[in-house]
Amino acid sequence: MTLAALNAELLQAGIDLDGEIKTRLKAWAGIANDSVRRLSSRIAIVVTFPVTAPDSTITDDVRAFISLEAAGQIGVEWGLLLLANSKAAGVAGADNVFVRAVPEGTPSTDDIKIEPAQVHLAFDRELAATVADQATPDRRRAVLVGGGALGSQIGINLAREGRFSWTVADNDYLLPHNMARHALLADEIGAPKALALARQMGWLLNESFTAVAGDVTRPDAELVKEFGEAEVIIDASASVAVSRYLADLGDAHGRRLCVFFNPAGTAVVLLAESADRSITLRNLEAQYHRLVQTDPALDDHLRAEPGVRYSGSCRALTNRIPATNAALLSALGARGLVEALKGDEAAVRIWKVADTGAVQFIEQRGAPAHRATLGDWTIVYDDDLLAELGRLRDGRLPHETGGVLLGIADMSRKSIHVVHALPEPEDSRGSAEGFERGVVGLRTAVSRAVESSLHQLSYVGEWHSHPRKSSPLPSAIDLAQIAWLGGELEHEGLPGLMAIAADDGVFAFVMPRPRSRAS
């Protein structure tokens, strides 16, 4: 195809292509760097042709045409430019320098050859959102905490869908063993994970994202600002301490979500706060552990797995999780994040992958949580725990019953999240007048619960029921037991906690008075 033929076609639409090119060639002449670059390059002509469909709708067909010769050489053939000596012109490193021909010469009669080329739209946020079947791009400001295997794949996947304006926070560096599961490649080894991941996500969308390479639990002024402005905070750090810190972050108002693998890499867990943050990550952590304790499908969910040493240090271990599992679970987690943010409710969601590749979905809605201040301690419990106590009580009426309480104790905050109530041991003795808890199998049951929670749960107290038509107020016997319980748990730094269940879902939590200490 020739430039003359394309010009003749466009003249019918009132476009003088030759005239436009001649004007630009003369304007580009000279020894300036931009002039040298332009005239040493080939000309690309992009034309939008309107196409009318049978239903009379009009769409644009965008085509490109590339000259086989450099722009400067075309100018010479048209008599508009002259090829000058680059050294004489004082342009270092340039092979060709073109200057204006004065007067202009006689144009060559040779045809200027051009070749058609396909036009591809640059991949940006708008195209990413369209391909991902979004009506509009999601530009909410999001902080991604954790740029490891899970965080990197979630970040890259969501960026490919045109989602979020990102800040990535991580204080670690990309190391060789990370190549087993990380979304980043070997050319980034040695770089801060936050910087490398934010850069890659930005390159995908042709945007600039923020990286903060620091300790999230000791944020600098920049990270404090990013948290404060974020609408969504995603914790992919796989750190209980970080998750709890983010849940308590008072200067941030964005909704928080936490996503992590189980140790064996056979499941991914999502904890999604309610939109109003009335149910926080701390509440959901407790509810997640209750789900693990009570759902048979999760019996081995938190089973500890031996690691693989990745450096000379005996403590430098990484989990044995295949890249295929990490990729599949990361995709499920990313999809789960998007779906959770479409609603306002809190939830615990788990995707469990079998060896066959089949995925089992387990979901527990977030239960409203309640707080009670007893002395120096804050006791947190939720509606599902109260329902659990009610079921255990109802199952033994008219007799009293009881058992032990498991929970998450945070000594630094002096708080106890009551998670789970165990039923009475088989040698317990209960009647309509009283209850004496047995001990058979109790130590084993508590140890199993502690181990299956990776030692996040511990024994935090006792519970028992009162008979029908009784209040939950402690009796004289209860008060004596509470005093004994406080003495038993004192050496562990815990108060003695007792829960009492009565009629109509009425409950009481009781603790002994703090003991006075001799000075």
- 503-507 long-range contacts (CB < 8 A, ≥24 apart) are 503/468, 503/469, 503/470, 505/386, 505/390, 506/471, 506/472, 507/386, 507/389, 507/472
Is the predicted pLDDT of residue 216 greater than 90, yes or no?
yes
What's the whole-number mean pLDDT along residues 234-249?
96
Q: Specify whether the backbone of 50 is left (phi greater than 0), alpha (psi in -120 to 50) or beta.
A: beta
Angle between the N-to-C axes of helices 323-342 and 149-160, in degrees from 0 to 180, rounded to the nearest 10: 60
Tokens standing for residue 205 = 């969308």
Cβ atoms of 406 and 446 within 8 Å: the answer is yes
Q: Beta-carbon neighbour count of residue 98 at 10 Å?
A: 27
Is the predicted pLDDT of residue 453 greater than 60, yes or no?
yes
Sign of CA dihedral 425, 428, 432, 433: negative
Q: CA 430, CA 419: separation in Å to the nearest integer?
A: 24
- 132-139 long-range contacts (CB < 8 A, ≥24 apart) are 132/160, 132/161, 132/162, 132/163, 134/161, 134/162, 134/163, 137/162, 137/163, 138/162, 138/163, 138/164, 139/164, 139/165
125-365 and 369-510: same fold? no
pLDDT in tens, 462-503: 999 999 988 899 999 999 999 999 988 988 899 989 999 999
Distance between start and end Cα atoms, the chain: 100
CA dihedral 389, 393, 396, 399 (to 10 degrees): 140
Tokens standing for residue 217 = 């639990």
- Which CATH entry fits the domain spanning 125-365: 3.40.50.620, 3.30.70.360, 3.40.50.720, 3.30.300.30? 3.40.50.720
Where do the structural domains in the chain lie, given as residue ranges? 3-117, 125-365, 369-510
Is the predicted pLDDT of residue 202 greater than 80, yes or no?
yes
Find, among 94, 79, 104, the residue nearest to 31 by Cα: 94
Burial class (CB in 10 A: 0-12, 13-18, 19+), 97: buried
What's the whole-number mean pLDDT along residues 141-157?
98
Q: Which helix (H) or strand (E) holds 75?
A: helix 71-77
Confidence band (pLDDT; 50, 70, 90) for 516? very low
Find, among 103, 90, 108, the residue nearest to 36 by Cα: 90
What's the whole-number mean pLDDT along residues 213-234?
96
Percent of the chain with pLDDT over 70: 94
Is the predicted pLDDT of residue 308 greater than 90, yes or no?
no
Q: Beta-carbon neighbour count of residue 317 at 10 Å?
A: 14
Confidence band (pLDDT; 50, 70, 90) for 306? low
Is the predicted pLDDT of residue 90 greater than 90, yes or no?
no
Is the predicted pLDDT of residue 404 greater than 90, yes or no?
yes
Angle between the N-to-C axes of helices 281-294 and 442-452, in degrees from 0 to 180, rounded to the nearest 10: 130
Tokens standing for residue 15 = 């476009």
Is the predicted pLDDT of residue 304 greater than 90, yes or no?
no
Question: Beta-strand (E) ranges in 334-374?
Answer: 347-353, 359-365, 369-374
Cβ atoms of 286 and 417 within 8 Å: the answer is yes
Find, among 96, 107, 112, 40, the residue nearest to 71 by Cα: 40
Q: Residue 62 in 3-state DSSP?
A: strand
Burial class (CB in 10 A: 0-12, 13-18, 19+), 298: buried
Q: CA 145, CA 158: separation in Å to the nearest integer?
A: 14
Give the pairing type, strands 210-212 and 163-169.
Answer: parallel
Cβ atoms of 456 and 479 within 8 Å: the answer is no
pLDDT at 38: 94
Q: Residue 364 in 3-state DSSP?
A: strand
Domain 369-510 has CATH 3.40.140.10: yes
pLDDT at 85: 67
pLDDT at 235: 98
What's the whole-number mean pLDDT along residues 297-322?
68
Q: CA 77, CA 71: separation in Å to the nearest integer?
A: 10
pLDDT in tens, 75-88: 999 999 999 865 54
Is the predicted pLDDT of residue 314 greater than 50, yes or no?
no
pLDDT at 512: 86
Give me the residue label for tokens 């591809």: 120
Cβ atoms of 367 and 383 within 8 Å: the answer is yes
pTM of the model: 0.86
